């Protein structure tokens, strides 16, 4: 993977960049839809392509349980298994073990857990998680990290963060060994992950330790887990001030459109979140003038598209009234159209931000976005 900053905004930390991978280019800032089991819920790979998705996130924990590594390897890797010939990033499974698995136990060696599906016992070590992701053959991979709940004590956060660092060292070592065995250009890129909860001192330490390992990209984890927004932004300010400008910065699990805009202005390059699809399935869509709950009775006879300015398949072909009707009668097409529109909206928003940064009018764009999108939250 290679990364270059193409344009630095003059009035904020926002920057437009380009990630190069063996499976194609990813202009940044970029948003990754979440393809938990190797598919973004309700959507096809063609629809992702049409929405402008360049980088897809898949979950190591889920794919390792089902269909399992053997099937993915026999298919010729994750790209071929899922029919997606563009870049893929996989997470480490740390968050899923923390949030889904039963009886997860952390030790120096790694984390043991019971599958949320059948209760079977498993051990994920930093080495094993690295090996799994190498075997997937994806483009960007994450080291196993120790995610902890919010709120947590300073001591607990410190311990988890320190363990994450020690695991990062082991992950990197195994990653380097594996990369040497692999043919040139076929190895994935391993990012570092910065933890430390809401404690800026711990975040600073975690960032410095991660920087010492000289990863080609840095992820910021453990945010948007219940902490106040102000804490999140405090952590981001702290961490971002330490990160080098020439490496991509990935904010994990964020967020709502207004958060994405704010975080782009702080200099973040990569994002992933289930919001566009999860909210879409619940009938909530994002538009250029705010949010809209499509199930609401007010749309029963509204024959305009979800967003008159949107070029997505849903907006070009269907009305609010029809999609609301599909939600009412529980047709799957409702979930599809709302998810499709939301993913398209998120990707379009990122494209507009990249464009604005390149044209050095990001502040103006951000202002207009705020006026149109955020002032209309009363639509809820």
User: Which chain residues interact with a second copy by CB under 8 A?
Assistant: 36-39, 41-46, 62, 66-67, 70-71, 74-76, 81-83, 300-301, 303, 313, 317-319, 321-322, 325-326, 328-329, 331-333, 335-337
Q: Find the shortest distance in angstroms from Cβ 319 to a second copy.
A: 7
CB nearer to a second copy: give 6 or 117: 117
CB nearer to a second copy: give 44 or 107: 44
CB nearer to a second copy: give 146 or 336: 336
CB nearer to a second copy: give 44 or 246: 44
- Is 272 among the residues known to form the active site? yes
Q: Find the shortest distance in angstroms from Cβ 341 to a second copy.
A: 13
Q: Find the shortest distance in angstroms from Cβ 22 to a second copy.
A: 21
How many whole angstroms separate alpha carbon 228 and alpha carbon 200? 14
Show the tokens assigned to 353: 């931000």
Print the SS3 string covering the chain.
Answer: CEEEEEEECCCCCCEEEEEEECCEEEEECEEECEECCCCCCCCCHHHHHHCCCCCEEECHHHHHHCCCHHHHHHHCCHHHHHCCCCCEEECCCHHHHHHCCEEEEECCCCEEEECCCCCCEEEECHHHHHHHHHHHCCCEECCCCCCCCCCCCHHHHHHHHHHHHHHHHHHHHHHHHHHHHCCCCCCCEECEEECCCCCHHHHHHHHHHHHHCCCCCEEECCCCCCCCHHHHHHHHHHHHCCCCCCCCEEECCCCCHHHHHHHHHCCCCEEECCHHHHHHHCCEEEECCEEEECCCHHHCCCCCCCCCCCCCHHHHHCCHHHHHHHHHCCCHHHHHHHHHHHHHHHHHHHHHHHHHHHCCCHHHHHHHHHHHHHHHHHHC
Catalytic choice (9, 91, 145, 307): 91
Show the tokens assigned to 170: 């082991």
CB nearer to a second copy: give 41 or 174: 41
What is the maximum alpha-carbon separation in the chain? Answer: 62
Q: Find the shortest distance in angstroms from Cβ 116 to a second copy.
A: 12
Q: Find the shortest distance in angstroms from Cβ 46 to a second copy.
A: 7
Q: Find the shortest distance in angstroms from Cβ 41 to a second copy.
A: 6
**Contacts from 210-216 at CB under 8 Å and sequence distance 24+?**
210/165, 210/168, 211/242, 211/243, 211/244, 213/168, 213/169, 213/172, 215/172, 215/190, 215/191, 215/247, 216/1, 216/3, 216/189, 216/190, 216/191, 216/247, 216/248
Q: Find the shortest distance in angstroms from Cβ 70 to a second copy.
A: 8
CB nearer to a second copy: give 37 or 128: 37
CB nearer to a second copy: give 46 or 184: 46
Q: Find the shortest distance in angstroms from Cβ 104 to a second copy.
A: 21
CB nearer to a second copy: give 62 or 247: 62
Catalytic choice (9, 145, 259, 272): 272
* Enzyme catalytic residues: 91, 272
């Amino acid at each position: 993977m290679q990364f270059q900053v193409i344009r630095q905004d003059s009035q904020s930390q926002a920057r437009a960049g380009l990630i190069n991978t063996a499976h194609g280019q990813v202009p940044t800032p970029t948003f990754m839809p979440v393809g938990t089991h190797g598919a973004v819920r309700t959507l096809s790979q063609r629809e992702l392509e049409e929405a402008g998705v360049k980088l897809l996130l898949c979950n190591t924990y889920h794919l390792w349980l089902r269909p399992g590594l053997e099937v993915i390897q026999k298919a010729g890797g994750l790209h071929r298994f899922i029919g997606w010939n563009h870049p893929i990033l996989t997470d480490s499974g740390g968050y899923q073990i923390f949030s889904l698995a039963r009886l997860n136990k952390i030790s120096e060696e790694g984390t043991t857990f019971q599958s949320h599906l059948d209760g079977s016992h498993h051990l994920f070590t930093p080495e094993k998680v690295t090996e799994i992701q190498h075997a997937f053959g994806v483009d960007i991979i994450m080291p196993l990290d120790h995610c902890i709940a919010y709120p947590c004590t300073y001591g607990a956060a410190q311990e988890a963060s320190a363990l994450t660092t020690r695991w990062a060292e082991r992950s990197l070592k195994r990653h380097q060994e594996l990369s040497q065995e692999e043919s040139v250009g076929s190895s994935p890129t391993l990012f570092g992950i910065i933890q430390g909860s809401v404690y800026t001192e711990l975040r600073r330490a975690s960032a410095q330790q991660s920087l010492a390992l000289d990863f080609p990209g840095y992820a910021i984890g453990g945010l948007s887990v219940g902490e106040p927004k102000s804490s999140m932004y405090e952590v981001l300010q702290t961490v971002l001030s330490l990160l080098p400008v020439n490496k991509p910065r990935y904010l994990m699990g964020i967020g709502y459109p207004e958060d994405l805009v704010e975080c782009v202005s702080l200099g973040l390059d990569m994002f992933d979140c289930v919001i566009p699809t999860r909210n879409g399935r619940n009938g909530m869509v994002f538009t250029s003038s705010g949010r809209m709950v499509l199930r609401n009775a007010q749309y029963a006879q509204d024959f305009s598209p979800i967003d008159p300015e949107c070029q997505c398949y849903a907006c070009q072909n269907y009305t609010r009234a029809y999609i609301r009707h599909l939600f009412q009668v529980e047709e799957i097409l409702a979930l599809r159209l709302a998810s499709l529109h939301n993913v398209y909206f998120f990707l379009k928003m990122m494209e507009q931000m990249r464009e604005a940064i390149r044209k050095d009018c990001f502040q103006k764009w951000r202002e207009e976005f705020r006026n149109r999108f955020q002032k209309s939250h009363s639509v809820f």
